Amino acid sequence: MTVILRGLAWLRDSIANQAERFFLRVLAAGPVPRHVAFVMDGNRRYARKQQKQVQEGHVDGYVALRRMLEVCLRLNVQCVSAYAFSIENFKRSEDEVEALMKLAEEKLLELCEHGDILDEYGVRLNVLGRTSLLPEKVQLAVQKAEYMTRHNTRAILNLCMPYTSRDEITTAVESCVRNADPSNPIPATFAGPDRVPDHGSRCPSKTFSRQLYLHDRHPTPPLDILVRTSGVKRLSDFLLWQCCEDTQIQISSTFWPDFGLLDFVPIILDFQRKAWGRRISL
């Protein structure tokens, strides 16, 4: 009896998996975002709701990240960026920070293993932010994971940790000032991505963008969609420079660990509707 039930469960999962693959292939035939970013919020509220430990909420959050990464890769999204740890998160309890660091170390090593998701889909991993603030063991895991995936060219996963946009922007400004050519005039303002003319300024916008964590080592495509989960309407200091005029900001009321295909499909359909609308009006 148990064997029959197990067999039926396997059959059900296998059919669901095939149906999902087929559906994603159909969706991928339309315009697909080049770069999707996730503010993975709501892990602790999810844990409270499920009567789990906070740490378990973060573990389930990691499972959701893998799930959404795979969905994006099947849709042929070129670049996925995820806010895994803000510099501000160091202010959380010692226990929570320690658990998050342990999770990061363990999962970074798991992600880059041969045969795992990054290898299977040809994804290059970048860990972006003020990585010198991470414990040494995590820094070693970062170096190993980045090294193992350095030749992958089909897609990019940017794990932003420990990151804030203000840190990214001030670091880039400092770098521009250090590299400035004193024979050129000083720019009046930084007006936004690629808005400042490249002529006659010491640190034009394009040069400035190249100093950002998200552009530093490998150019990333423009940010098409920024998803924030858990219903909170804040950017939380994430990708402020990259949220250019065409970025679609999407707020989902689902807590991150519960976020899945059913939450993401309406976001992609909305993107496709707007992309088709733009093509027709051109």
**Known catalytic residues?**
41
Binding to Mg ion (CB under 5 A) within 24-63 occurs at: 41
CA torsion, ordered 109, 111, 116, 118, to nearest 10 deg:
-130
Out of ligand FPP, Mg ion, none, what residue 37 binds, judged by CB under 5 to 8 A for its kind, is none
- Which residue, among 126, 193, 205, 129, has the nearest Cα to 167 in the 3D structure? 129
Residue 237 lies near Mg ion (rule: CB under 5 A): no
Residue nearest to ligand FPP (CB): 61
**By the 8 A CB rule, do 203 and 177 touch?**
yes
Binding to ligand FPP (CB under 6 A) within 128-187 occurs at: 159, 161
Residue 104 lies near ligand FPP (rule: CB under 6 A): yes
Which structure tokens are listed for 259?
């976020």
For ligand FPP, the closer of residues 6 and 48 by Cβ is 48
Residue 84 lies near ligand FPP (rule: CB under 6 A): yes
Residue 190 lies near ligand FPP (rule: CB under 6 A): no
Out of ligand FPP, Mg ion, none, what residue 43 binds, judged by CB under 5 to 8 A for its kind, is ligand FPP
Query: Is the peptide bond preceding residue 162 cis, with omega within 30 degrees of 0?
Result: yes
CA distance 86 to 37: 15
In the complex, the smallest distance separating the C-beta of residue 39 from ligand FPP, rounded to whole angstroms, is 8
CA distance 106 to 98: 12
In the complex, the smallest distance separating the C-beta of residue 171 from ligand FPP, rounded to whole angstroms, is 21
Out of ligand FPP, Mg ion, none, what residue 268 binds, judged by CB under 5 to 8 A for its kind, is none
Burial 234-247 (b: 16+ CB within 10 A, else e): eeebbbebbbeeeb
Which residue from 78, 89, 131, 171 is in contact with ligand FPP, where contact means CB under 6 A?
Answer: 89
Binding to ligand FPP (CB under 6 A) within 199-258 occurs at: 230
Q: Name the β-bridge partners of 281.
A: none
By the 10 Å C-beta count (0-12 exposed, 13-18 middle, 19+ buried), 117 is classed as middle
- Cα 252 to Cα 207, 226, 240: the distances in Å are 34, 11, 19
Which residue from 35, 37, 107, 193 is in contact with ligand FPP, where contact means CB under 6 A?
Answer: 107
For ligand FPP, the closer of residues 85 and 190 by Cβ is 85
Helix (H, G, I), strand (E, B) or coil at 76: coil
Task: Tell me the site size for Mg ion, rule CB under 5 A.
Answer: 1
Task: Tell me the site size for ligand FPP, rule CB under 6 A.
Answer: 19
> In the complex, which residues of this chain contact Mg ion (CB under 5 A)?
41
Contact footprint for ligand FPP (CB under 6 A): 40-45, 58, 61-62, 65, 84, 89, 103-104, 107-108, 159, 161, 230
